[in-house]
Structures are given as structure tokens and as C-alpha cells.
Amino acid sequence: MTEKMIYSFGAGQTDGSADMRNLLGGKGANLAEMASLDIPVPPGFTITTQVCVDYLKQNDFPEGLWEGVKEQMAWLEDAMGAQFGGDENPLLVSVRSGARDSMPGMMDTVLNLGMNDKTVAALEKKSGSRRFAYDSYRRFINMFGNVVLEMDHHDFESKIEAMKQRKGAASDLDLTADDLAELVDEYAALVKEKTGSGFPQDPYEQLRLAIEAVFNSWNNDRAFTYRRLYHIPHDWGTAVNVQCMVYGNMGEDCGTGVAFSRNPATGEDALYGEILFNAQGEDVVAGIRTPEPIVSLKEKMPECYAEFESITEKLEAHYKDMQDMEFTIQNGRLFMLQTRSGKRTAAAAVRIAIQLVSEGVIDRRTALKMVDPDSLDQLLHPTIDAEEELKVVATGLAASPGAAVGRVVFSAADAVERAEAGDPVILVRQETSPEDINGMNVSQGILTARGGLTSHAAVVARQMGKCCVTGCSALNVRADEKVMRVNGETVLEGDFISLNGTSGEVILGEAKLKQPELSGDFATLMEWADEIRTLGVRANADTVTDSETAIKFGCEGIGLCRTEHMFFEGERIDYVRAMILASTEEGRRDALDHLLPMQREDFIGIFEVMKERPVTIRLLDPPLHEFLPKTEEDMEHVARLLGVGLDTVRNATEATEEQNPMLGHRGCRLVVTYPEIAEMQVRAIIEAACEMKSRGVDVLPEIMIPLTSGVREWAFNRDIVYDIAQKVIEEKGVTPRYLTGTMIEIPRACLRAGEIADSAEFFSFGTNDLTQLVYGLSRDDAGWFLPKYIEKDLIPRDPFVAVDREGVGEMVKIGIERGRARRENLEVGICGEHGGEPTSVEFCHMMKMDYVSCAPYRAPIARLAAAQATVTHGSYQTVEIH
Amino acid sequence: MTEKMIYSFGAGQTDGSADMRNLLGGKGANLAEMASLDIPVPPGFTITTQVCVDYLKQNDFPEGLWEGVKEQMAWLEDAMGAQFGGDENPLLVSVRSGARDSMPGMMDTVLNLGMNDKTVAALEKKSGSRRFAYDSYRRFINMFGNVVLEMDHHDFESKIEAMKQRKGAASDLDLTADDLAELVDEYAALVKEKTGSGFPQDPYEQLRLAIEAVFNSWNNDRAFTYRRLYHIPHDWGTAVNVQCMVYGNMGEDCGTGVAFSRNPATGEDALYGEILFNAQGEDVVAGIRTPEPIVSLKEKMPECYAEFESITEKLEAHYKDMQDMEFTIQNGRLFMLQTRSGKRTAAAAVRIAIQLVSEGVIDRRTALKMVDPDSLDQLLHPTIDAEEELKVVATGLAASPGAAVGRVVFSAADAVERAEAGDPVILVRQETSPEDINGMNVSQGILTARGGLTSHAAVVARQMGKCCVTGCSALNVRADEKVMRVNGETVLEGDFISLNGTSGEVILGEAKLKQPELSGDFATLMEWADEIRTLGVRANADTVTDSETAIKFGCEGIGLCRTEHMFFEGERIDYVRAMILASTEEGRRDALDHLLPMQREDFIGIFEVMKERPVTIRLLDPPLHEFLPKTEEDMEHVARLLGVGLDTVRNATEATEEQNPMLGHRGCRLVVTYPEIAEMQVRAIIEAACEMKSRGVDVLPEIMIPLTSGVREWAFNRDIVYDIAQKVIEEKGVTPRYLTGTMIEIPRACLRAGEIADSAEFFSFGTNDLTQLVYGLSRDDAGWFLPKYIEKDLIPRDPFVAVDREGVGEMVKIGIERGRARRENLEVGICGEHGGEPTSVEFCHMMKMDYVSCAPYRAPIARLAAAQATVTHGSYQTVEIH
């Protein structure tokens, strides 16, 4: 007994449901669910994703599948009173992919399947329209030829273009029934020419080939790229939906459309969508014709519109989320073809989530989980400054909000090339297609001449959080010549333009951008996130400005203040160099004496902003050669300035050069050789803390030793901190709070964490370096070959973006377990760039860390991700800071 | 009730024993043991090492110690019928250090304690020799002043030198009693001048100060350096032995000496030692006077000699090991002052161990543990080629065997400086002292003008396994002028000389060296080691010559054959460069096609030597830039040779440069980008194996993927190996054996070892890189600052020398456990340089590895270390190779 391979839906025989998404795919599960809700759905059946996986493994239909398909076809014939391949009332079906997660346009679809030279006549008879019958047939041959027989779409296109010219037809609609019949013959001849055999006339052969083609499309390049970009596992497989055809192109009382139950760009609670009358569905999605707004339906077919509205409400109430629906009207009768949670901009996601809570549909915890934390990045990005005078040359559809400034490119390949060279680019296309996905990914924004708000460009751009303007018909794009003309202006490749994704404006030159507002719904959501989350969020901030931004973005402290950045400013670098060039401890101390008051003022400035909040200050970390001049000219300058010989500078520069600086003389290793550097820094910190305490502000510096690898090295550093701190406290007669702890960024430190925690009051995991060491991979050097690893699916994600839980994660786990086993109230955080990446934040929550620290403007992302982690995994007790 | 702080020995009241070494130190424990055996020992008592530790902590005598010392002194007065500080029969004592492990000459000693202006007269009366009394007194003031009062030894020396000149005395012996009495006054004045107070007259004050000085000497620089060199923990502390003085300088029927129960240089079973008649012990050790061989005693005092012989036999039988003894004869009466296991050369160690087994004293397992594996290095070093004509300019004492060639230096500091610059050096000294230990450590050999076979230089050199010639009186060493004259020749600093440590010859220029013979006792010991050891020993060998050496040194296979070394030979490098410079896969394949036959021949050559033994071949590992030209000139050459533009070469060189090459594009990462390289290498290996199998030799290549970090990357590489191997096997119609496995050298690979072992047949731990990654430490860059870590005691040992068990070791353990949990018969080895280091070999045994792989000439060390590990930890089952 094998598992059930096929599930039916509609016509009173539905055995699937929405919660079977993994098995039936999103589309199949929702068709079953809609059918159960008595929503009009053309009947059909779904072949499970498991069957696809099995098929791809054995490259053949599993046993019993084909018999099952034939049984289902018999049921459909029965239900519809039609015959598959029949010459009276022929049954036509669509064969569509449908994965667990939506992958719009990535996999294959065949419509009108079942047509052949015999059924076309029957269809003519039944529909009463010879034109409709042959139009359907020529569409079918084209699609089947392209998808199943792997023929080039353009070969069909050139036939129809040639005919249109020959017949003097402006559009497809101007071709007559006879023209189309002639075209069918030409298409059939083309198939014979390209494939060596005639177009398959047996509908069951068509069906079998189409099902196989959909299975195989799971592994096409587009789909593979898409999954890689959106972290969808490659072993899920797609379901196949075989469904009775309904037609939106049988006349003026027909149409097809796509709609959202709320506005996916703004979140506004109003039906939002488009309809193409007398057209098939693929015309909408492909953006070939620009559709009309959904309100047109209200005017033309008010009853249909009312029914659609009521179905929309029913679906949204049922799914408790904004829906993205496809529908077709055949001779005035409405059929729902698909419903799913609608993709939306971050702004819309936030607004919808808040609205659904206020409508009582969902609770706050659910609302928090409805917003993708990464997408908040869109809201945190700048917009175009309205104060400035702009050279707006055209306006298109505001398909995805935000603003973008970049150099124009006309192909995805050029986009990738220029972006890799470091240029910001804007991809300008007649219309985009799934092949453009890589180019869109590297662009600041996307501009298209054709296509609506639900065209490929618009859907993908919104999901990517990129600014996008579509359907800008004023554009005359000549991709082959790398030029576009727009209202008399000529824009060449490389020229700067700006896009306003909120207004749809296209602007010549570089517009000035404005910082985002973080109020309203956004602020409400953040408030809810803060109420629920366990994990603290701190910022990586080195300056007073950073600190102010950190507070604005809701950070509860500074998790990483890098003191080395302070060493480059103004005259400081001269003293730093003098320190490095000194050959004696005395010489180094002289130079450090000059740096002391400056460092102290740095810390006072930061403390003034952060007040009682914790400020984790990392002692000097980078190798000393980073501070030395590299060019001959700079060396001469430094030699003159410091009054030393050029040789002294050159020798010092050469002497500090390293084969592998990442593994070299840095971090606390500097302290072992030159304790006086740490002594100065600790003195500056504690003197600043004393000063603040004298002013009545009880600041909380957390002094952090970088690059610890073992307990004795740690103790050596810790003793220096303690001794100097005690000395300053005695001198000043003031006792400020302070903690002493260490970065855990070396695998050995994770292993020896127990001993280290005996005297360390906090750990901060430096997962950037830890990742480099656990993987033996240099972040600086891996840039060009890591993509090959992702391309070949040898690693799941770039480990420098999201914490590698299987490797780096286990080391972190070991470090925390051993540390806390020896010191129950050990404060634990993370301060790499992972601290602002949602899956990494979730991992930190699972590790029961006390906080994450990230770039200030990623803090809202971390706050939301932390709240979601609490919803998913529950809360825990964090450490009370003394 | 505190722990017992003092233990007595001799005079019928002995409460310590040899097994209390940790508490009483080596010397104290052996004195107690000898006393228990009724061997004549001057009575005394031992203050425990624990007391020293407590004293150093609180910087004061523990409560009750001083009272205890006074009680013991009362007992000694009773036992000897003498009074401490008495004016009739004064009791004089020695105060000596004595640590758990012998640290010869590193800590302080005071003799003749108890002398003062009053007791000197009593001693004169009692001994009947005014000269003896004042000689003892002046020695005591000198020693006490130097050791306890921290005065400069040279200040005393210049007084006695001045007197000798004044009195026309050639040696100390020519000074009269009155001279010496005068000298005592001068010494007393010197003490007053330098310390501001008179020489302490109260014997108990002398005693207390001396005990404190010995305690404190545990932490002097010399002792600290010694412990660091010999890995002795810094927290052991020293015991203090207070013992009644006996005198070897009371006349011609007196003497003092040092002897070994067997020859410590050769292992010959005959008394070996030296005696100085009418002298005190320190004269022997310091090498100030050249002593007579021990047979002189037989001639002068046959009864004494017979007694000594019988004691020697008793001690050796009791301790079951060769003994190193100190004795004094006072007026014809023999006293044993010390016995301990004698230090010996490796050759002697091997011979003695074999002899003791054949004498039935010990068993083979004990014999195996008697030889320090590291010391075998001495036997494996070359000797001077006797065929060659040598310019021998002098002959000294053959103090430590072997041969050395190097540039002359005249001070320890110069030795260190030149050695750091990369020169081989020979340290030439008038005589060495403990201060020279660092200089000796970096030298190839040591040559002294004065001192015997038991002088400081000889003892330390033997222990270090360095060639050493002592007592070469023909030398006229002028260290201050950096020159020596010898038999009419002048040798300047930096000139080459050669030493023959077996003959004592000093040779001008660079002698030719000869490889060692590995037969006789050495071969027997190795045979025993091979019989008992569990761990296999393979060699790191890249060439036919290496392979032959590996067989000669008893290796059972090759554990690491680095294919990249083959890439540099002859015209190969040109093809390698052509491959790297090719911009297409086709171009790369063209170049690789040229390399294929050469690589195949490489492997055939190695297989011909290794036959059925396993040969682990690592696929290309280093980053490609290592193969590219670095200088402009070389680039031009390559460009011309390959017929490409200079820019192409320059760009490729620049493009492959990396910030951190250790973490860069190397190992199996090369295969992910350029699979064709691995394909060529695997083809060469399997074709070679097929060829050998056709010839009837069933070779066993183990194909090793370097730098694996995770299971998917591993599988990608493994599939290439499998596919190519299958292809070649089909082509050739021959099926050779082969295994596919991976280096485990990245921390993440240790963590993911379970999954990897699902399809990997072997693991080879690359502990060089693993150490770099676990420590985050570049071996190339750490050279200058790692010594500071060792100096400051922040790490126990250089982790690149001995496996860091606490960090790297745990990662190895995790890797093995997880690997074997998924594949029971996973073959596991190690192939870093640690494979030839004894403590690391022991660790590998504890991890139940199948083999270690090391440099061929370190294989005997690994074999012995593996045998010792079996004796210590027992044996286990290793994997059967298919």
C-alpha cells in the first residue's frame, strides 16, 4: 500500500485542505480549501510534491500514478459531462506547478491541454466561436511547444508577428478566425520542423508529457536561482495541479484578473487589483497588455464584482490574512483559480498586521509574526527629499515604494557586472522576466516600460524590498543600443537616474535622499515587539552620532564600541604612529599619554548619550600595521612629522606586515606584548566613568578583551584591567560600575569558556571572526568563490550573512553552556553583523543570550526578529546587570 | 595540626623515603632512601617542597617551621656530638636546594654554614689545620655573600686574585693559612662595604637567611628558564636540605667526586666518574679544576674504592637504574652525598636499557620507558664522515656525542642573535655556567676550554642532545675580543668550525657529515617497541627518496604524500602556470593533460618502493598564487615562455593574491572552482595503481581531500574521485584497491565529522592547520610573539610543537567520536608535524588512532613514544585496512 498520490478538489469531491500545503503545494491546498468553503473553483486534482520528489529521483512515474491520473480524468469527465479528447464536448485542462512556498513564474504551466485537430472543431461548435477555438489552439501549441517540447518561444512569436504584418493587423485581436487557423497550421509545421515529429494529437500523451515537464521544471535554472535567493530547500519538489479550463477570452462578458484583498503597497483596506477583459490569465502576469483597474469590473459586471467582493471577504476572514487571488470570468460566471497570502511591501505588512489586530481578526503575537523582519529594511531606507527641485521626466506605476539612485543599465548581465564593480545601478527593461532575477537582485531599483502593478517586475521588486516603477509607457527602451529616450531626453548606459517608488516618478540625475520616519504603525509594531521579546538589542556604535542613532532605533545599550576607530581621527593617528614606532616602552608610554585625554573625552561623549545604559567597549583589536602608512609618500610624511628617519618608518611598516593578519598580532595579543596600550585605554574608560559618576550619572562600561584564546591569557589581560581600574578608583575617590569580560571569537575560547567564566563577567560572541575560524575561511578572500559554493548548493547560505548553526552555532552553544555552568549570571551577547539578521537573532534567542548587538539601523529588524523568536520558542530569564 | 614540614635522615633517624620525591625533592628523598639502606650519609633533614610553596606565597616562614628547624638542629648536635656555633666542636652544615626533578646548578647552595670568627678557631683546633679552617671560612663568606647577601661573586674573586699576585701564588693551594686568614678579613670588610653591615656571626641567623635564599632561588631567572625549557611546572617549589658538612679538603686522604654507575656517554657497564683530591664538591661541578678519573681512587685508597663499588652496586640494584652519585671522602672515610638516576646520552640510554633487561634487572616494558623518545634524535643525527681529511686543531673531552658544524660565537647572547638570523652556531666558552643555558639551546654544539665530563657544559649538552667538547685546554678564548687562538690558528667570530662529540676533536672549517647507523641496541629497542605498540607509524614523504628513507626508519606506509611538491620540478611548473593563467576550462585541461603522465610516473615511483603499504596522497592543497612568479623579472620570463602578455601574468598574480591565504582559496576549494585539477590527479593515481596491479603489486593509495569544512563540500569532491576512478577502472579493466578520505583540519569538519564519515573511509587530522584555526593563530606570524606567551607562562607549550590537548585535542576527540559513531571501521591518523613529537604521539594513542605520520627520520621517536603510550595506557584494536 503506497501513500495517496493524488487529491481531488471541487465538484463535490474535495479531499485536501489548506493545512496540507507541504504535500499539495500552496496552490493545490488552497484550491481544496476554497472548494470546501463552497467558493466556485473549476474542479481538478493535485499530484503531491512527494510524487515529484520520487519522480525526480527515479526519472519515471511512480507505480500506480498514471492509473490514478486516468481515474481522476474519468471523474472530471463525469463531473463536467465532457470528454477528454472528445469530439462533442471536449474537456480541456490546465497543468500547473504549485510548490510549498510560492515561486511566482519560476516553474512551468500548460493551458488548454486536450486540444487537437479534432477537439478544436468541437470547441468551435460548443463555444459558437471559431476565432476562440483557433485562438485557444494556437496558444496551446505555442505553450506546449515551449514548455514541454523545449522549443524557442520566439520562433512562435515571429510566425504571429509575420502574419500580423502580412495581414496588416495592429494587435492579436485584429487577426481573424481564419488567420488563426492558418497560424495553427504554421505552428504545427514548425513543431514538425523543430522536433522531427508532429504535434502530439493524443490528449493523454499531452497530459503525461505536461505532468513530466512540470515536475522537471522544479530543477530549471530560474527555479534553482529563486530558491537560492529565498532560501527554499531544493528537495521539496512541486505539486502538479490538473484543473478544468475556464476561459476569460470567450468574449466581452469574459475576463481574467489578479486582485489583493488589501493594497499590497500601502496596506490600505480596499480591494486592489486588475482585470483584462476577453483575455487569458497569462496575459496579466506576463505584463504583455496593460490591464484595467479592478473597479472596471464593478462598472461592467456589477453582480460579478459583488460576488467577488463577498468571496474576498470570506477568504480573508477564513485565512486571517490579506489574500492574493486569481480569477476568471467565463461568460459572466466567476471562477476562483487561486488564493494565497499576498506578498506585500514592508509598509503594507506593518499596516495590515496592525489593522487585523484592531479588527479583532488576529492577536498581537500573530501580528508580529506577519511581518518579515528583513523587510523592515525597506522602511528604514531613505526616500526622496521632497524639498528639492527634481527633473521628473516621466511617471509610471508606483509598484514598490522607497527611492533609488543609480546608473542606468539595460540588461541583467550589465547590472551584475557594474554592481560587482561597486556602482549603484538601476535596471531599466521593456518588461522583466524571471531570467532577470539576478540582475534585479543587485540593482538599487527597477524601471519598466510595460506591465502593471502585478507584473513580474512589481511582484518580485516588492518582495525584494526594492524600489520599482513599472508601466512607464513614455520610455522608449533600446536595450540593444544601450540607450533609452524619454520625453525628448536621451539616457545612456551609465547615466544617473533616480526613482521614486512611492509616486512612480522617474527623475534624471542623482536625487537627494531623506531619512525615514519611524512613527505610526511602525512604532506600534515595535512597541509590541519590545513588550514581548526576551532578547535585548544593543547597537554597534563607535561615536556620539552612532550612539544617538542607536537610541533613536530603540537600542538598550551599546554592545560593541570599537576603540580603534577613534585612533584614526585628526592628530590622534600621529600619536598612534609615534607609539608604534617607539622602540622602548617609555617611548610608547609618552605617545599614549597624549592619547589618554582624547580617549577619555570620547568615552565621556558616548556616556553622555547612553547614560545608565551598558556600553561594551572593546580594547584595541586590529593589528598595528593597519595604523602605519602604506605608500612611500605617506611614509615620508610620517617620518618628517615624527622627526624620525624614513628607514624607521619603512622598517616598522615592513616588520609589522603579516602573512595572515587575521591570525596575527592583534586583539589581546597586543596587550601581552605592549600592556601599556591597554593600561591607557582602561584608564581612559574608568576616568570617564568616574567623571560621569561625579556628575550623578551612574554609567556602565563593560570592558571587553578581544581575541582571548585561553584562560591564562585572559587572566593576564583581566588583571591589567582590574589593577588600573583600582588605581584610578583610588586616585579619584569615586567608584563607578564596570564589568570586565571578553569576546569569544576563537574556537579555543569556546572550548575553554568554563575556566574563563570563572573571572569573566560577560561573554560577547564575535561571530564574524568565529565564522572565519570555524570554517577556516577568510571573509576578505572568499568573496569570489563563495558564490560558487552557493551555486553548487555546497553550503546552505553565506555563513557571514546568517549564523551557520551546524558549525559556528555549535561552538557558540558549547561556549555558553560551559561559561554558564561555571558562572550562572554570566552576561552573554553577540556583536558580529549576524546580530541584525533575523535567523541569527532567532538562534541567539534559542541560545538564551541576553542581547544581540547590531548596526543601529538594523535594530528594528533585530527587535522584531527577537519578538518572533519569543512567540515561536517562548521566553526565558535574562541576566540582571549589576 | 599542620602537615609535617621537616623530615630527618641518617644517624638512625630516617623518616623519609625515595617515593616521597614530590614532597622531599629528588635529593632529599634519595638521601633518606640511602640512609634506610645503611649507606653512609651525613645526617641532616629536609624541609618539604610544600613549605617552599607556602613560603613563596606569604613571603614568610610558615608558623612552626623555625621551631622545627631548631629542634632538628638540636638532634643533629646530639647525633654528631657537636655544637652549632660552638667553640669546642662546632657543627657545620650545608643548605641545598632539591626539586622534584633535577635542575642541576639552577638553584642555590650554601656550604660550611655555621662558621664565624669564633668557630673558625675551633675548627682549626679540631682539624689540626689552620689552613683548612680559614680556607673553609673564606669559601663560606664568599658563597654566603654571593647567594644570600646577593653580592657579586667577582668582587670576591678579584680579592683572591689580587692576593695571589701579591703573594706570587700560582693557584689557591699556594696560599698559606695566614694568607687565607688575611683574605677572610678582606672578605669581611667587603661584606661590610657592600651591605652596610658586618658578616652575620649568629649561626642561626645564617641558617634562617640561607633557607630563605634557597626558597627564593626557585624563582630566579636561570631556574625559570630551565623549567620553561624542560616543561617543569612553576608551582612545584624546591625542598631544602640541611646536612652536616663533611670535608673533602682536609688533606690528601680527603677528596670529593661525582660518579656514574655506568658510562653516561656510551652506556658501558663500568664505574665512570671523577675525583678531586683535597677539594670541596663545588670544585668538581663548576669545572674550575680538571679532576682525575675515578680509577685514581683505586690506586690511592683501594679500600675506599671497594666500598664505593659495593655501594654503587647496591644502589643500582635498589633503584633498578644507572645512578649518578656524589661522594666525599673525609680523612679516608666515605660519605655518600647524593644519588639519583643518571642523565645519559641517547646511545647510553638505549644500551643501558637493553643491558638491564639482559641482566634480568628490569623487563622490556620498563626498558622501553627508560629511553626518552625525543633523545633518539641524537642517534638519528649525522656524524662526521671519517673518510674525509680533517683539519683537527685540538682535542678536548668527548662530553656529548654527535657532530656539529657552525659559526663560532663567544657569548650566549651572540649565539641567540646569530641563531635567530638563521646561522648555525657553535658556542665557544672558557667554561659554561647556568647563565649560558639559552645560548646553548640555540647552538649546534658547545666547546669549552675548561671543565671535565661532568662539568656544567657536559651535563647540560648531553641532556639537550647536543654535541659537546669540554676541557679543551689548547684553546685560548678571548670572549671580550671575540677571538680564540688554538695551536697557532686564530679563529674569529663567524668562522666555521666543526666538533666531533664522540672523539673530542675540534676541526677548522665545515666538516662533511655522515648519516647514522640504526643497528645493534638501537635496532633491538625499536624491535621491542614495534612488538608492543598499538599505534601505526607512517611517514610524510613526497618522493621516491623520502619513501626509501621511510622504509629504512621503519614506517609502515606513507601518511602524507603532498602532490604540490611535484608541481615545482623541472618543466612541470611551466604547465602548472599555464594551467593557472588559462582563462577557460579547456585551456586548463590542455595544461593538465601535459601534467598527467608526469604525475602518474611520480606515483608509480613511490608505489614501487611502498608496494602493498598504504600511501595517503593529498590532492593539491596550496593556494594557486604559490605557483606564480613574484618578481617582475620572473613574470617576464613566464610571459615569454608561455607566449602570453606580461599583463596576463601580472593580473593573474595580483588576482590570486590574498589577504589571508591560510584561510583562502586552497585545498578542496580549488576543486569546487576547478574540478579538472582533481580529475587529473585522481586519474594519475588510479592509472598508476592499475599499472602496478597489472605488474602484480596490489598497491593501496588512500586519496585524501584537503580542507574539508562540511558534508556537501566533501560529497562534491568525493564524487569526483569516485567518478574518475570508476572511469579509469573501466578503461583499464583492472580494479586496484583505493580508499577515499579527508583531512580533518578545520574546526567545522570536526563538528560535522559524523556526516562526513558516512562516505569517508578515513580521516587524517591535519593538526598544523587545526591548531592555527582553533587558536586563531598564524604559525608564520606568531614566531616573534609566541615566545612572550611562553615567557609569561600564558600557554604551557608552543602548540605547534606539542598538540594542545585542552583545545585542539578536544576538537580532535570530537571529530573521532562523531566519525566513528557513524563508521565503526573509520581509519584515523594524524599527519601534522605533531606526529613525531612524543607527547603528541601519546595523545594520538589515547585517542585510539590507527597511526601517526611524521617526517621519516622522526619515525623512530614516534615508534618508541607509541610503545611507551601502550605501556602507560594499554593497547586497543586498530582498523583492518581493506
pLDDT tens digits, one per residue of A226-238: 887 777 888 999 9
Q: Using a CB-CB distance cutoff of 8 angstroms, which residues of chain B are in contact with residue A659?
A: 661-662, 778, 780-781
Q: Do A785 and B665 touch (CB under 8 A)?
A: yes
β-bridge mates for residue A93, sequence order = A113, A244
Over residues A746-753, the mean pLDDT reads 98
A472 counts as catalytic: no
* Cα-Cα end-to-end distance for chain B: 65
For residue B516, give how far its alpha carbon lies from the nearest alpha carbon of chain A (Å): 37
Per residue in A488-510, pLDDT tens? 899 999 999 999 987 899 999 99
For residue B516, what pLDDT is reported?
77
pLDDT interval class at A276 (50, 70, 90): very high
For residue B764, the distance in angstroms to the closest alpha carbon of chain A comes to: 17
Point out the catalytic residue in the list B244, B254, B381, B456: B456
| Exposed e or buried b per residue across B814-851, where buried means at least 16 C-beta atoms within 10 angstroms of its C-beta | bbbebbbeebeebbbbbbbbbbbbbbbbbbbbebbbbb
Judge: A747–B811 Cβ closer than 8 Å, yes or no: yes
Confidence of residue B285 (pLDDT cuts 50, 70, 90): low
CB contact under 8 A, B664 and A778: yes
Mean pLDDT of chain A: 91
B656 CA: distance to closest CA in chain A (Å)? 9
A-B Cβ pairs (cutoff 8 Å, strict) = 167
**Using the beta-carbon criterion (under 8 Å), do B712 and A665 form an inter-chain contact?**
no
Q: How far is B794 from chain A (nearest CA, A)?
A: 5
**Whole-number pLDDT of residue A386:** 65
Least confident of A610-614, A663-667, B107-111, B266-270: B107-111
**Average pLDDT, stretch A465-488?**
88
Strand order across the beta sheet in which A483-486 lies: A475-478, A483-486, A489-492
How far does the CA of residue A406 sit from the closest CA of chain B (Å)?
Answer: 28
Tell me which residue has cell 567623571.
Answer: A691
Q: How far apart are CA B485 and CA A365, in angstroms?
A: 92
For the segment A782-796, the average pLDDT, to the nearest whole number, is 86
> What pLDDT sits at residue A284?
60
Please report residues of B whose CB lies closer than 8 A to that of A752: 806-807
- Chain A nearest C-alpha distance from B660 (Å): 4
Say yes or no for a CB contact (<8 Å) between A716 and B794.
Answer: yes
Of the two residues A655 and B100, the one the predictor is more confident about is B100
Query: Among B540-544, B603-607, B716-720, where is mean pLDDT lowest?
Result: B540-544
CB contact under 8 A, B794 and A661: no
| pLDDT (mean) for A822-836 | 93
DSSP codes, A650-710 = HHHHHHH--SSGGGSS-THHHHHH-HHHHHHHHHHHHHHHHHHHHTT---EEEEEE-S--S
- Parallel, antiparallel or unpaired: strands B445-448 and B467-470: parallel
| Residue A287 reports pLDDT greater than 60 | no
Q: How confident is residue B383, by pLDDT bands cut at 50, 70 and 90?
A: confident
Q: Which of A745, A794, A806 sits opposite B713 (nearest CB)?
A: A794
Mutation test of the interface with chain B: which of A674, A711, A712, A748, choosing the one with the most B Cβ atoms within 10 A? A748
User: Would the pLDDT of A569 be above 90?
Assistant: no
Do residue A782 and residue B664 have CB atoms under 8 angstroms apart?
yes
Which of the following is catalytic: A831, A834, A845, A854? A831
CA A207 to chain centre: 36
Contact B748/A664, CB-based, under 8 Å?
A: no
Residues A114 and A93: beta-carbon distance below 8 Å: yes
Q: How many CA atoms lie within 13 A of B593 on its CB side?
A: 6
Q: Which residue of B has its CA nearest to A753?
A: B807
Angle at A379 between CA A373 and CA A384, to 5 degrees: 160
Q: Which residue of B has its CA nearest to A777?
A: B663
The span from the first CA to the last CA of chain A, in angstroms, equals 64
Query: CB-based burial of residue B185 (10 Å sphere; 0-12 exposed, 13-18 middle, 19+ buried)?
Result: exposed
Q: Please tell me the predicted confidence (pLDDT) of residue B719.
A: 96
pLDDT in tens, B712-721: 999 999 999 9
Q: How confident is the model at residue B465 (pLDDT cuts 50, 70, 90)?
A: low
Cβ pair A489, A427 in contact under 8 A = no
Question: Which pLDDT value is given to residue A1?
Answer: 39
pLDDT band of A818, cuts 50, 70, 90: very high
Q: Which residue of A has its CA nearest to B716?
A: A794
The listed range with the strongest mean pLDDT (A187-196, A807-816, B224-233, B455-464) is A807-816
CB contact (8 A) between residue B781 and residue A716: no
HEC assignment per residue over A473-519: CCEEEEHHHCEEEECCEEEECCCEEEEECCCCEEEECCCCEECCCCC
| Residue whose entry in the numeric block shows the C-alpha cell 667554561 | B431
pLDDT in tens, A352-391: 999 999 999 999 999 999 999 988 877 886 788 767 788 9
Q: Which of B658, B660, B785, B812 is the mutation pick for testing A, counting most A CBs within 10 A?
A: B660
What's the mean pLDDT in B509-534? 90
**Contacting residues of A for B712, CB less than 8 Å apart:** 793-795
Comparing alpha-carbon positions, the chain B residue that sits nearest to A717 is: B794
Which member of B707, B751, B776 has the closest CB to residue A810?
B751
Chain B residues touching A744 at Cβ < 8 A: none
| Closest chain B residue to A667, measured at CA | B776
Could you give the ipTM of this predicted complex? 0.79
Using an 8 Å CB-CB cutoff, list chain B residues near A748: 774-776, 804, 806-808
Chain A nearest CA to B444, separation (Å): 28
Cβ distance of B778 and A747 shorter than 8 Å? no
Q: What's the pLDDT score for residue B214?
A: 94
Contact B804 A748 (CB under 8 A): yes
Q: Which amino acid is at A488?
A: G
Catalytic residue of the set A381, A456, A834, A845: A456
Asked if A660 and B662 come within 8 Å (Cβ–Cβ), the reply is: yes
Quick one: closest CA in A to B713, which residue?
A794
SS3 B321: coil
Active site residue B625: no
**Partner-chain contact B746 A774, CB within 8 Å:** yes
Answer yes or no: do B663 and A781 touch at CB < 8 A: yes
Mean pLDDT of A769-792: 89
Q: Which of A659, A709, A788 sits opposite B672 (nearest CB)?
A: A788
B795 contacts A710? CB cut-off 8 A? yes
pLDDT digits (tens, 9 = 90+) for B152-175: 988 998 999 899 899 988 877 788
Contacts of A792 in chain B (CB under 8 A): 672, 716
Q: Which residues lie below 8 Å from residue B659, measured CB to CB, with a gap of 6+? A: A661, A662, A778, A780, A781
User: Which of A663, A707, A781 is facing B665, going by the closest CB pair?
Assistant: A781
Q: Band of the pLDDT at A285, cuts 50, 70, 90?
A: low
A466 confidence band (pLDDT: 50, 70, 90): confident
Percent of chain A residues topping a pLDDT of 70? 97
The yes-or-no verdict on residue A753 having pLDDT over 70 is yes
Q: What is the pLDDT of residue B1?
A: 38
Q: Which of A751, A795, A806 sits opposite B807 (nearest CB)?
A: A751
Q: Which residues of A touch B673 (CB under 8 A)?
A: 785, 788
Pick among A769, A777, A785, A803 to test the B interface (most B CBs inside 10 A): A777
